[in-house]
Amino acid sequence: MTRSIVTQDVVRAAARRGRAIRVGPEDAVAPGARALAEALGVRIEREGADPPSGALTLVVGSDHAGFVLKEELKTWLSQKGYAVRDVGCHSTEAVDYPDYARALAEMVARGEAWRGIMVDGAGIGSAMVANKVAGVRAAPCYDLSTARNAREHNDANVLTLGGGLIGAALARQIVELWLATEFAGGRHARRVEKINALDVARAGTSRRDDRG
């Protein structure tokens, strides 16, 4: 059996494609490649290992303005059979949405959750925060058309909702469609690769800045 080595070039290529890297039991990961994979949000999955625990796990989060809707969605999603992890907040006391949107996005990027759903007042600010995390493609959705488009065209892995703009019934419909819709691939895959390539470019710029 040929023993393969995962290099930083392999990681960068996977980041551009928006895919995880599958390695065999005897394959090795080169020094620096694993750290780069974490920085770019690329999962390294070893064949023969147990399936990732986040395969059917959703992570939810909110600020104070989205707390009530998040709690309703959390209960509903649990009833539908998903394992739901909640990064907060845990009351209607005023908090800062960037703290929770970042925690949620980082869980998705690390592969600890299949997808993430973040609720704030309008769904806009949290999307901005989540999209700063490498490997995350967050989309604010307000109706069924935007939910379908976010998945089919953009392969969004984080959904942001505006608790002050939509009610629980519509939110459930949006979430259900968003979770059920597959990425269309084709010409859209090429465009998503270009989105993912920005994470690679940004990581490279950051490393150059760190070196001074």
Distance, CA of 137 to CA of 116 (rounded, Å): 10
Select which of 64, 90, 153, 188 is catalytic.
Answer: 153
The answer to whether residue 188 is catalytic is no
**DSSP-assigned letters across all residues of 200-212:** HHHHHHHHHHHH-
Distance, CA of 149 to CA of 170 (rounded, Å): 16
**How does DSSP classify residue 84?**
E
* Sign of the dihedral through C-alpha 86, 77, 82, 148: negative
Q: Please give the sequence-ordered ranges of beta strands (E in DSSP) within 68-157, or none if there are none.
A: 83-86, 115-120, 138-140
Q: Please give the sequence-ordered ranges of beta strands (E in DSSP) within 48-114, or none if there are none.
A: 57-62, 83-86
Give the residue numbers marked as catalytic: 153
